[in-house]
Structure 1
């Protein structure tokens, strides 16, 4: 019986982060969970494609845009379960055991990981608590927290929208809070954007964009503001 899990990683000039992201998948290979790793690239001009090839990942190329890249990766996947993971996120070692247990016991539910920033800053701990609380209260984890979902449920809800922004919010709303659980493993994501822009400034900017989206602003409009 084939391994159940296809791991899908959207990339754009991710050569600095991708090797560590791929390395953290080793526990899943050791447990026989991973059938394939798909790197869905949006036109990288660095060594991303070479790294994907050197590590045995399948490279899928298409239009730039995380929503479109995630959808393309899912379209190429062969696994009965899909794990979407950002290239600058590294999973804690126990992730594979938690995912395997979820697949065996809760096939009707999707799952995300607990958010952790790779930073020693006090503001990182503040934002982690805020983000994880939002995720659990509203059923809206960040895309940085990954998404584990069965192919059956993914297709039932229509998959990732080919949206330039808010694709993570849109798919989580389609899944619904009642069909989402959180795994006791960490998604340790890069803090580079927050360290560059300021932790609170970036956090409140993101919250403002989310509020505008919830009030009806179009993703195309928000993407321009985000850039």
Structure 2
């Protein structure tokens, strides 16, 4: 196992917070700002066969790596994610969690804060995350589904921060997110959707990465 922390801050503010490098297991690197860009940077350095993309404010369940490895023994499975739990005791979050579970299991569209994992060969065959300002996670999951790739949603929960909902208001944040997802699935470019999202992602984004030729794809035809 290896841990690669990719910091989009040129000053390395996140990296400076790391106190435990696990005897060199934790590798740190600076990158241009942008979640897709940062994920791709980390993936380019990874040596393992399975990539796990973890947001800094999301905690994995106990034994997460063993559970991922067990699920991926099925060679038909391209990737997956965990069940989402939001770090708050407030009842509205339980409703949100149920909706997320339905969307993930029946539509095959887990969010990035659910701890997305994917085979490295499949990830690179797709061209990785596209360099888009938002919805890079749903974009990747949709491309996997279009290639007939199977996804698995593990019942073990990841716990993610409730910070954004609490700052913006639970109802507003939830309805805004649902509308953005719907518009994205209807084909509205994520660049246009960005103006409805908080201004934390303001760095310029280069042209999208092209997918690798289909002949090299590990997906079923």
**Common fold, TM-score beyond 0.5?**
yes
TM-score by length of 2: 0.81
> C-alpha deviations, 1:50-108, integer Å up to 9, x for none?
23475242112121110111111111111111011111000111323311212333464
Looking at structure 2, the residues matched to 76 and 108 of structure 1 have their Cα atoms a distance apart, in angstroms, of: 23
Structure 2: which 5+ residue stretches go unaligned?
199-221
Write out the 4+ residue segments of structure 1 that deviate beyond 6 Å after TM superposition.
none
Corresponding position: 1:201 with 2:167: no
SS in 2 for 1:116: strand
Q: Contact 1:53–1:59 (CA<8 Å) still a contact in 2? A: no
Q: Contact 1:38–1:73 (CA<8 Å) still a contact in 2? A: yes
Task: Name whichever of 123-132 and 208-217 sits farther off.
Answer: 208-217
2:7 to 23, 33, 41: 41
Shift of 1:218: 1.6
Task: Name whichever of 105-114 and 178-187 sits farther off.
Answer: 105-114
Structure with a larger share of its residues in helix: 1
Q: Contact 1:39–1:52 (CA<8 Å) still a contact in 2? A: no
Aligned pair count reads 193
Looking at structure 1, the residues matched to 90 and 83 of structure 2 have their Cα atoms a distance apart, in angstroms, of: 18
What's the RMSD between the two structures over aligned residues?
1.8
Looking at structure 2, the residues matched to 139 and 117 of structure 1 have their Cα atoms a distance apart, in angstroms, of: 20
Aligned equivalent of 1:216: 187
Structure 1: which 5+ residue stretches go unaligned?
1-33
TM-score by length of 1: 0.79
Shift of 1:44: 5.9
Q: Contact 1:52–1:58 (CA<8 Å) still a contact in 2? A: no
Aligned equivalent of 1:13: none
